[in-house]
Amino acid sequence: MLAMLVALGTHMLKSKYQRARIALLGSHLGKYQIERQMQTLTEGYLRALGESELARREQIFELLTTLETALCEQLSRFAADFSKVSAGDARVSKLGLSVPYADKLFPAATFDLRQALVIHARGVAEAVKNGAGRSPKARAFTISAELFLLQHTCHWFCKSRNVASARMLVRQKTSYEQLLASVAPETRKAYGKLIGG
């Protein structure tokens, strides 16, 4: 009976904690159209890559440039907006499992979501600029990976690393390790340094 009460109490505490984090992130994300733009962009990339005609594929990629620019601007503003959140509220536990208030209990085992969002916004912007001279297909692949890693980080903040990785595997058929391997080297290095891995 005692074990059942402890489990129930822990579950309620975890639910309350996660709802608060979802609400915090949602209050900032809600000001932007980032999620809708990400979905439209990734669907556009898939459509372009599915075209057998090279001219048609290039035309679709060209049409997506306006959306890419708008998304970069929104991500930059979102990162700047979220940077105003207090340091304590922006901590993300590095533990794989969701432990309520682990960010408060084990502050040394956390990273700052504010810094992660800056890395993600910069990574997407650099991939869009394409200073590395990637082919349209490789460029679309890199931008998609940058966006999916951003999504993973947001899920990690709200739930846990393991839940975020499982969602990515189910929704995008991509593992966390594949994401890290697919983003630009600069993003991978900065992100790895931030999360300590």
Q: Provide CB contacts within 8 A for 40, sequence distance 6+.
A: 67
Question: Which of 12-21, 61-70, 164-173 has the weakest average pLDDT?
Answer: 12-21
Decide: 182 and 99 in contact? Cβ < 8 Å.
no
pLDDT, one tens digit per residue, over 91-126 is 999 987 777 777 777 888 899 999 999 999 999 999
DSSP assignment letter at 108:
G
DSSP state of 133: -
Residue 11 has pLDDT above 70, yes or no: no
pLDDT at 15: 83
**Phi/psi of residue 51, nearest 5 degrees:** -75, 130
Percent of the chain with pLDDT over 90: 78
Does residue 133 carry a pLDDT above 80?
Answer: yes
Q: Give yes or no for residue 150 having a pLDDT over 90.
A: yes
* pTM attached to this predicted model: 0.90
At 195 the pLDDT is: 94
Beta bridge partners of 92: 111
Token pair listed for 185: 């080297």
Instruction: For residue range 60-72, list pLDDT tens digits in order.
Output: 999 999 999 999 9
pLDDT confidence of residue 100:
74
163's tokens: 């839940």
Tokens of 5: 């009460």
